[in-house]
Amino acid sequence: MPDLSPEVRADALTGSPAGCVLLLIAEERELTPATLAKPEVGLFAIAEAIGQISPWHAHGHARIVKEALRHGPRLRQRALDLVSHPDIAVWWAPIDRQNQLWLRFSEDEGGWPTSQTTIRPTGPPSNFEVYVHAPRPQLATGNADDGLSAELAVVLAGASDWAMDYPIHRRRATIRPDARVLEIDSAQDWHDLVRRYPADGTQSPNPDPAMHDVPWGQSDGSMVPDWSMVANDWDGVHVTLWALLTATQVRVSSDIGWTEPWSWEGDHAIWLNWPFDAVEDLPPIEGGSFDSPYYMVKALDFSDPQGTVYTTEPSGGWPLNRGVTSETFGEVDGQPVERYTLTNGTGMSVSILTYGGIVQSMIVPDR
């Protein structure tokens, strides 16, 4: 990645939907560049920004993107201050070969893949592979900081529709020094990858009328790479955190058609050939294991014609302790009374005592 000026980076941030939403989050929560540079804050704020521009958002995807971009010019000085902070440079850093986090979200996935597992794509992408901008099955890792990665932050924050079963198993992985990694740091980088390794365009149109605006295959002009061709020259493709912010849902067009990565949810490396030099098991993550004082849920309030931004703050740490937890509440007549707390993904929780089924507390987030 060339050493871009702060002005160029600020333009990229304010010209992208996710970048604008991140700046709105920073504005509303008064998060300084130094605070956003902390992984336990910045990674979760970025996860929320990506979640807010989801194509499945209840307020209407196109409306949210348009409204977010409307704030871009006003937020340019904030963007310039952010990208000028030296610690933010880690957002566009290349892959950290010594410290990759490898996640396994569900017991249904079976055991960890090994060097004997076939991960190399063997043909043009299927419809689903076009849809998710990645080969399947997918082996992916992400740059890690103290056991946390952008991909993990997305899951813990509930900012995606990924299935999530606790405990979440994770490994620290080291990438071979000779592994060939292509860095994707901008929307143009992604377009150039597709230009060099274009899929053959045989994918059929999305059959679901409700998803006619969602990229599915080249039949609607959306271009994706043929991962089997990429694997001939590269062992992996690394999408930086900066690319996640500035390339997600940003269209680049040329004579070959157009590209628009829309399904990225974290910085990640997609592996096409076995890359690992070593792996190490880390303690699994139970519900609520990570904690941060900067819990936030960001949205655009369309009940206000000016599109005012607002923040809701569910109680508890970051992320939500989803699921069911239990603890000893006290005792009655020498018998222990347990408190069970049920928490959902929107910040609502209810605590029930085993003494007569008493509802001890109920917490519901509001504006």
Which among 54-58, 98-102, 137-141 has the top mean pLDDT? 98-102
Dig out the tokens for 187 from the structure. Answer: 């929307």
Question: From CA 342, how far away is CA 153, in angstroms rounded?
Answer: 21
- 273-291 pLDDT tens trace: 999 999 999 988 776 545 4
| pLDDT given for residue 355 in this prediction | 83
Residue 256's nearest CA partner among 210, 216, 305, 221 is 221
Are the CB atoms for 152 and 158 separated by under 8 Å? Answer: no
Identify each DSSP E strand in the chain by its residue range: 100-104, 139-143, 168-175, 181-184, 236-239, 252-254, 257-259, 268-271, 276-285, 297-300, 309-312, 323-332, 335-343, 349-353, 359-363
> What sign results for the dihedral spanned by CA atoms 286, 287, 289, 290?
positive
- 15-30 pLDDT tens trace: 999 999 999 988 888 8
Residue 288's nearest CA partner among 93, 156, 184 is 156
Give the domain ranges of the chain: 6-285, 322-367
Residue 117's nearest CA partner among 138, 142, 141 is 138
Dig out the tokens for 167 from the structure. Answer: 């405990």
Residue 227's nearest CA partner among 125, 95, 141, 128 is 125
Q: Please state the separation of Cα 324 from the chain's center in Å.
A: 25
| pLDDT given for residue 244 in this prediction | 94
Residue 230's nearest CA partner among 124, 127, 93 is 124
Are the CB atoms for 61 and 17 separated by under 8 Å? Answer: no
- 171-187 pLDDT tens trace: 999 999 999 999 999 99
Q: What is the pTM of this model?
A: 0.76
